[in-house]
Amino acid sequence: MRVHVTEIKDGDKLANDAFNSYGLHVLSKGTTLFAKEISVLFQHQIDYVDIETRQADAPLNRTIESGLSPKWLPTVEPIYQEVILGCEQLFLNALQNGVIAEDDVSATFQPLVDNFKMERDVVSMLLLLNTKDDYTYQHSVQVGMLSYYLSSWLGYDEEESVKIGQAGFLHDIGKCRITDDILNKPDRLTPEEFELIKRHTIDGHQIIQASFGKDSLAAIVALEHHERMDGSGYPYEITGDEMHPVSKIVAVADVYSAMISSRVYQQKRDLLYVLRELYRMSFSELDPTTTHTFIRHMIPNFIGKKVELHSGEVGTIIMTHPSEFFRPLVQIDEHFIDLSLDHSFEVKQVYM
């Protein structure tokens, strides 16, 4: 079937060789098309290609070009809310009993894995589900989900990724011992209150060790997820060389979730600003390999989204680049602007 390059979906295969207008061979028949290959087609100004017939029932080949379908929410939102309630119960158990049951953690977290792991548009998914209510529990659920995704992107197998996701899910369990008036305080925390907040890493470490044993991965993550590569974190100001690799994963997920969330004391930040801030932090506070992997996999979810440039022009993101994270290919009316080549243009805002 013949399609315009803007209609290519990840995983499509070329049915014939692709040549540019000068007769130069660009891509071979049978090439599987992803972001890199589609970008090559754009660079050679190839408008149409022949692709093999798509398998309508192949879930791995689907893309979401303009946000999530309204049909998606009624299915997954109840699951998401149920997991939030389960998270709240885990916090309550930890506060009352000082321990949590490993079976309860698995039973609460696994529905996320079973129902969300094929959902590629993580950006829209979290933004649509995010509300101002129950921040602490929502944050825990989101960090668990993001840690699961990020670990798989880094090459961990499914079993390992689930364990890492669970560690992310439990990273803030120590906050069960902090009163709501401090957790949800709309004003700046006093130095004394901030010291209480910092205690949640140590308290979480103790709770999980008492529940799962002293060598528990989740316990290590609870203790280290606020440590930073340059030693500027807490509770012990260790450096990246001393941090567990999984703590570095959860740290990235934790910062991202906190920055996109609607909290009582801050406005939800523009998503592109958040990713740029993560990129900035990757040169000092966050592990660069982990952070860049996260950004590289999140940025393609902007494809199909409306974008405003600093020039005031509004277009659609057609393609993202694997290295020029914040300089996509944008279509405005009938023409295309490759921001990775033309630096006179810059993205101002992405509309999700």
Q: What is the 3-state secondary structure (H, E, C) of 167-187?
A: HHHCCCHHHHHCCHHHHCCCC
Answer with the residue of higher pLDDT: 52 or 47: 52
* Angle (deg, nearest 10), helices 158-169 and 217-224: 50
Mean pLDDT calculated for residue range 329-333: 93
**Among 138, 100, 136, which residue's Cα sits nearest to residue 218?**
100
Least confident of 18-27, 118-127, 130-139: 118-127
Q: Of the given ranges (19-23, 24-28, 181-185), which has the lowest mean pLDDT?
A: 19-23
State residue 209's pLDDT score: 98
Contact 67, 121 (CB under 8 A): yes
pLDDT tens readout for residues 146-165: 999 999 999 999 999 999 99
Q: Assign 349 a pLDDT band (cuts: 50, 70, 90).
A: confident
Which range has the top average pLDDT, 37-46, 249-258, 261-270? 249-258
**Which of 23-27, 168-172, 342-346 shows the highest mean pLDDT?**
168-172
Per-residue tokens: 78:
């109840």
Q: Is the pLDDT of residue 120 over 90?
A: no
219 touches 208 (CB < 8 A): yes
Does the N-terminal peptide bond of residue 235 adopt cis geometry, omega within 30 degrees of 0? Answer: yes
Q: What is the pLDDT of residue 68?
A: 42
With b for 16 or more beta-carbon neighbours within 10 A and e for fewer, the 149-173 pattern comes to bbbbbbebeeeebbbbbbbbbbbbb
φ, ψ at 215 (rounded to 5°): -95, 15
Query: What is the set of domains in the chain, with CATH numbers?
Result: 2-61 (3.90.105.10), 72-299 (1.10.3210.10), 303-351 (no CATH)
Structure confidence by residue, pLDDT tens digits, 160-208: 999 999 999 999 999 999 998 998 887 888 999 999 999 999 999 999 9
Pick the more confident residue, 62 or 262: 262
Q: In what order do the strands lie in the sheet with 329-332?
A: 335-338, 329-332, 314-319, 306-309, 347-351
Q: Which helix (H) or strand (E) holds 49?
A: strand 48-50
Pair 315, 349: CB distance under 8 Å: no
Using the predicted structure, report yes or no on whether residue 265 has a pLDDT greater than 60.
no
